[in-house]
Amino acid sequence: MKIKAPKGTADTFPPVSEEWERVGSIMAQRARCYGYGLIKTPVFERTELFTRSIGAATDIVKKEMYTFEDRAGRSMTLKPEETAPVVRAYIEHGLDKRPGLTKLYYMEPIFRYERPQSGRYRQHHQFGVEAIGSADPSLDAEVMRLLMDIYAVLGLEELVLRVNSVGCSSCRGAFREKLRDALSPALNLFCEDCRRRYGENPLRLFDCKNEKCRELLSDGPFIDDNLCEGCGSHFRRVLSLLELLDVPFVKDGKLVRGLDYYTRTTFEVVSGELGAQNAVGGGGRYDGLVELLGGRPTPCVGFGTGMERVLAVMKEQDLRCGMQGPPAVFLALLGDRPRERGLKLMYELRQAFIHADTDYFDGSLKAQLRQANKRGFRLVIIIGEEELAGKSAKIKDMLTGEEEKILLVEAVERIKAICS
Ligand code: HAM
């Protein structure tokens, strides 16, 4: 029996994998312009890191974690998100004891045991940033500006940024009670999940996808109308800075997000092209997380965006990434001695950062030209016995069909000139 990849995972080959690389490098380039540097963390962590930070009542912790015991009996989990590992690393390396801001970006595989469907996988990949060390509302606005900037550079259209504030622990505590009071008369009309959430954390009711429950919640109360003074003025400042930075947004009092560590600003970017799994990216502020994980109180804000979903929107909108791959040259080498000389030239071309390849199936010239054409090579260099005797090669331009004779010693420079 053939072994297949696990359900909800994917193998990615060229040209799609090349699009991934290009999209990833554009994202990283944009993040570096905003002052972020790359962080890499392990694929698995101690389970407690996630139960403590994401929240015991969340779907991720309750149903979606890939948890296992290692051979020494310790509970480990494949990371279901990247914010907690970044904060864990930040504290572990003593960065919380240094003044100033730490700005990090990542591109990491994420594991969630969800019911697979279009746009929802058991292994997906997130590009994200975390700005650790400041409560300044301009940082919230900057993080959202960066996210929208990335989408704009990739050419994505018709995305909507939804923004909310979920307040701090004090205004949220008071709001929970207010929400419970407001919903209790109609509680039996909600779904079973919501009735359970009502007891654990009533804010989670806003997460429900059930139409009837959403309808019951449509008149509020909403958290953004019930913020304490500090959170209220922080939120107003974030919104006015978004306007200043030309970031269009929609205020959405129902946006709570699926992770418990958020405080104050939360946001999500949705696309009309993605059906049910319409969130392309999301994030927010998590001012309590560093302290919760044993570090000094340190305010933070960040986002994560799903690579698979970004690429799906790009496909839907027929977008290609603007960046070009290296120029490509195919060497058609006919006979043993020409092949030896050609292999040397191929090595020199690669040293010059030119994508050079050849035929490994002993094909005829015709077959090799066909292969080069099919694989999209721009130039073909032909070396046979006759060319070798004259220390030369023929270059065929596959776009124009023109041929030119060149000296082998000048080949690299000539090819560079043609490709530039
Ligand atoms: P999240 O909203 O759970 O946030 O995930 C971020 C993004 O990852 C989503 O908007 C979506 O594009 C993508 N995504 C999530 N689950 C899946 C899935 N099963 N299949 C495909 N794509 C998926 C977080 O994880 C936070 N750590 C983001 C953050 C960073 N907040 C602050 N800093």
Task: Read off the pLDDT of each residue in 326-342 and give the average, rounded to a whole number.
Answer: 92
Q: Which two tokens stand for residue 154?
A: 């990739």
Q: Which of 326-335, 360-369, 380-389 has the lowest mean pLDDT?
A: 326-335
- Dihedral sign from CA coordinates of 320, 322, 323, 324: positive
Q: What is the layout of strands, in order, in the sheet containing 403-407?
A: 355-358, 328-333, 379-383, 392-397, 403-407
401: left (phi over 0), alpha (psi -120 to 50) or beta: left
Out of 114, 126, 207, 259, mutate this one to test ligand 1's pocket (max ligand atoms within 8 Å of CB): namely 126
Centre of ligand 1 from the C-alpha of residue 304, in Å: 5
Out of 79, 124, 148, mutate this one to test ligand 1's pocket (max ligand atoms within 8 Å of CB): namely 124
Q: Given pLDDT bands bounded at 50, 70 and 90, which one contains residue 56?
A: confident
The values of phi and psi at residue 129, to 5°, are: -135, 150
Centre of ligand 1 from the C-alpha of residue 173, in Å: 26
- Contact predicate 383/390, CB 8 Å: no
5 has pLDDT over 90: yes
Q: What is the CATH number of domain 329-419?
A: 3.40.50.800
By DSSP bridging, strand 279-285 and strand 123-132 are unpaired
Instruction: Note the pTM of the prediction, 2 decimals.
Output: 0.90
* Location of each CATH 3.40.50.800 domain in the chain: 329-419
Please tell me the distance from the alpha carbon of residue 364 to that of residue 75, in angstroms, as a whole number. 59
Out of 53, 309, 310, mutate this one to test ligand 1's pocket (max ligand atoms within 8 Å of CB): namely 309
Please name the residue that has the structure tokens 């009711």. 205
3-class DSSP assignment, residue 110: strand
| Residues 211-250: tens digit of each pLDDT | 899 898 988 899 999 999 999 999 999 999 999 999 999 9
Supply the pLDDT for residue 158: 92
3-class DSSP assignment, residue 398: coil
Centre of ligand 1 from the C-alpha of residue 128, in Å: 9
H/E element, 137: helix 137-154
Supply the pLDDT for residue 328: 86
Supply the pLDDT for residue 273: 77
Strands (E), 286-341: 300-306, 328-333
Considering only the top CATH level, what class is 16-168+228-316? alpha beta
